[in-house]
Structure 1
């Protein structure tokens, strides 16, 4: 039997252009073990992706801030107001979150705030330090979040809900926010487009990038 999977989305299940690679649908529907989508995106996004992929809704969202499996939703952040307060301070001091008036990136976000990567990085990090927050660069956005909120802790929570050992999971990702997942999972793959921290933390780096790399990782584990 195949091992359970913990998969990042952006840069991992996507093409180089950024949209979901259609090959992900067939590959994951046919996987004969639990699949968990672990992302920095707001909670509704991975839930919707599970729905359209016809997968059970098993989700680690907002870099571990929200966890969902077997009809249990857990918000792991004790002080969700602090990132929002820091984001407002950033804006008040001349910063721009960068998503426009509707801000659908943060509209449904519960535990952190995402900021476009072309924002004033120095100002953002200064505000984050003042509020005791971390800034994580996922390659898609900067994330203002509380220290200790990690995808890896989300994987521990999902595994416990599913009655599985976290070390049974194979993780695939591409960014520094996947490092904690790699540390918790029993085996990890960084796709070829991964940043330096993810590459250094992974057990293996694939030859292929984006979905090509993910398919390479899945083939390696299915063939064992």
Structure 2
């Protein structure tokens, strides 16, 4: 039996313009009110996600920084899984490389990140991967479509979910995960039911148990209605 939902934010419970889907939020609140815990999973910072959880109405259980951090409820201890030191070293290498092309890399929220490094998507992600491939401390390069992230190897939303469900007293098989991007693939594979909304990348769709017919937040609602019919009327 499914007892929790973990969902990505951008592209999953938003629309194409990154506006939060009101239908998705109503659906989440119905789940929460029915005793189904909803976990917000994102590449965003903890402070951003705290505000989002408050506004949506969840209990603050999160996976942040693409799995680099996670926490059980607002009152829980923030667990840091990633190693930001290696990410910063890789970023310095990238900054030096692109400066030779007269390109400056813009860090996103450097004072509020604990595990990864994120910067503006004003360079080719494939070139970023090529530059860091030979770095003395290899890192993973994630292109979310909104930013480029550097993450320690072996850290992702799936590994965070595996740890987090233990704190929730659940098993991965009791969770449905919904996403749209490459940084959601491991999370989708880890969960008992993995869902890709219709606007997902091809690799994300291939990893999912179910691909919604609808896009963005409407696709999230579609999946919840399918697997949690008792909580969201058809």
Gaps of 5+ in 1: none
Q: Distance in 2 between matches of 1:165 and 1:132?
A: 31
Query: Could you tell me the TM-score, scaled by structure 1's length?
Result: 0.91
Q: Aligned pair count?
A: 219
Paired residues for 1:1-224 under 5 Å = 3-31=3-31, 32=34, 33-70=36-73, 71-77=76-82, 79-93=83-97, 94=99, 95-98=103-106, 103-104=108-109, 106-129=110-133, 130=135, 131-223=137-229
Residues 76-132 of structure 1: per-residue CA shift (max 9 Å, x gap): 12x321111221221122153346xxx43x441111111333314354223322141
Give yes or no for contact 1:96–1:119 (8 Å, CA) kept in 2: no
Q: Distance in 2 between matches of 1:174 and 1:148?
A: 20
Which consecutive segments of 4 or more residues in structure 1 shift more than 2 A? 22-25, 95-99, 115-118, 120-123
Alignment RMSD? 1.8
Aligned in 2, Cα 1:185/1:121: closer, same or farther, shift over 3 Å? closer
Q: Distance in 1 between matches of 2:24 and 2:50?
A: 15
Residues 131-164 of structure 1: per-residue CA shift (max 9 Å, x gap): 4111112222221111100101111111100101
Gaps of 5+ in 2: none
